[in-house]
Amino acid sequence: MRSQQSPLSPHAGVRAVAAYEEALRRLLSLADFERTAGLAAPAFKYDLGRMRELAERMELLRGGAPVIHVAGTKGKGSVAAMTESALRAQGLRTGLYTSPHLHSFRERIRLNGAPLSGDAFAAAVERAWPSVEAMARSDWGAPTTFEALTAMALDVFREERADAVVLEVGLGGRLDATNVAESSVAVITSISLDHTAILGSTLREIAGEKAGIIKGRQPVVSAPQAPDATDVVAERAAAMGAPLTVAGKDAAYAREGGGIREQRVTVSTKRNVYRLRLPLLGAHQAENAAVAVAALEAAPFGVSRSAVEAGLAEVRWDGRFQLLRETPRLVVDGAHNPHSMARLGETARERPTEGRTLLVFGASADKQIEALADEAAAFADEVWTAESRHPRAADPSALAALFAERGIRARSAGSVAEAMEQALSAADGGDLVLVTGSLFVVAEALQHHFGIPAEHYPEFDPQAFALGGVR
């Protein structure tokens, strides 16, 4: 049932915070490979048997709203957000599940565009916990944090009677926890090399993992891909008897101009011509918009042209070439692999400043940091490196050395906030200060700029956030 809101008693706010913190403590007592330092998670994470068992115990695999399932290396979050925004503009009650979050785990499960309240999140953990505990006592073992979160999302969307659900894959696709759900549309955004230690070292191998979300005859929508990835997606769709739509061919798109806050994009399909005002910038976001439009046309919701145009005009997806300040210009973008860093460079060069590009850069140690530095050095004039609070963050001195080797003046700072302030102090009015390298760095930049309180997790402050086992 839909949750009912009631006025808070004088102490209800404190109780609600405590309930959420206890729910988060429980959730993070499970194995959390997403946040674990190291190069690869143990292989047992990639076995859908445990996730199916959890979903069966919670009776999540029968009924429910139609699902649009989104996989890919780059752009899957943006496509998911665009798609959900258009569905909401159509008047549908929506559920959106994405990862990672910027500021709070509550952001990962959204109803009608809003993150779950602390109370709703705590209630979802409470409903899931008997099944989690039972599995911990069984041969299956306890689910991981991501598996439990995925089950919570499916449970919340059912309880809240969502009309339409958009699920973003966490990692890969074939063995991702979200792949237990049946989908009405399978969407595959741009594929490039990333997580190679887990998904494979070639584009064909990685594309095979992404294409694993094609499980039947449901429509498939793909972004334009490199030839190897194109072949794999097409072969999988043909094997499943699934009709395939390719953005750029079946959903043509053209950029018509714009400014620093939005771009105008026209998407043309056999059904309609969509004239979009898109607040997400760059050629890659125009491509993502075409993918989202094709997915909406393929979905069983009858979304109108006006709803698509209205929804994409209102989409918000923080941390993607997001303008925070105009003079000097301050932008954050969570480019986290070489492909996305190259696209960021293209977007930055499309909107030239009168002066220099000053980079605030931090990255995860398990990323292709030398290739990331190669791409970033192509458009940066000076660099401040920073270490985020995340346990996988690369050492800022080592990052600064990489840029110095490439002839870019670089210095390291003690924190993202410190690096931002140093870069802004060094900037003239015509300069661009660009914070990038990972979403964790971008999250801390947004928290510093807007005064957003950050959640604290056990690996950041293990004594203050003491964890036991599964309770």
Walk along the chain (471 residues) and give the pLDDT tens digit of each residue.
333 333 333 344 556 678 999 999 999 999 766 554 444 444 445 579 999 999 999 999 888 899 999 999 999 999 999 999 999 999 999 999 999 999 999 999 999 999 999 999 999 999 999 999 999 999 999 999 999 999 999 999 999 999 999 999 998 899 999 999 999 999 999 998 665 456 666 899 999 999 999 999 999 999 999 999 999 999 999 999 999 999 999 999 999 988 888 999 999 999 999 999 999 999 999 999 999 999 999 999 999 999 999 999 999 999 999 999 999 999 999 998 888 899 899 988 886 667 899 999 999 887 788 999 999 999 999 999 998 888 888 999 999 999 999 999 999 998 999 999 999 999 998 999 999 999 999 999 999 999 998 887 765 554 344 433 333
DSSP secondary structure letter of residue 365: T
| Amino acid at position 69, single letter | H
Q: How far apart are CA 260 and CA 470, in angstroms?
A: 48
Cα–Cα separations (whole angstroms), residue 16 to 64, 113, 121, 129, 464: 28, 21, 10, 18, 19
Residue 464 buriedness (CB in 10 A; 0-12 / 13-18 / 19+): exposed
CB 186 within 8 A of CB 128: no
| Integer-rounded Cα radius of gyration of the chain | 22
CA 10 to chain centre: 36
Q: Nearest 5°: CA angle at 95, between 94 and 96?
A: 120
Cα–Cα separations (whole angstroms), residue 265 to 43, 286, 304: 42, 6, 17
CB 69 within 8 A of CB 84: no
Instruction: Using DSSP, state whether 400 is helix, strand or coil.
Output: helix
> How many CB atoms neighbour CB 294 within 10 A?
28
pLDDT at 10: 37
CATH 3.40.1190.10 positions along the chain are 15-314
CATH 3.90.190.20 positions along the chain are 322-450
Q: Nearest 5°: CA angle at 235, between 231 and 236?
A: 120
DSSP code per residue over 8-22: PPTTHHHHHHHHHHH
The fold adopted by the segment(s) 322-450 is Protein-Tyrosine Phosphatase; Chain A (3.90.190)
Q: Nearest 5°: CA angle at 74, between 70 and 76?
A: 25
**Quick one: which H or E segment has residue 360?**
strand 357-361
* CATH 3.40.1190.10 for domain 15-314: yes
- 127's tokens: 């409903």
- 303's tokens: 């979304």
Dihedral angle over CA of 261, 316, 364, 440, nearest 10: 100
pLDDT at 6: 35
> How many CB atoms neighbour CB 11 within 10 A?
8
Q: What is the pTM of this model?
A: 0.90
CB 311 within 8 A of CB 88: yes
Cα–Cα separations (whole angstroms), residue 432 to 125, 328, 357: 43, 6, 5
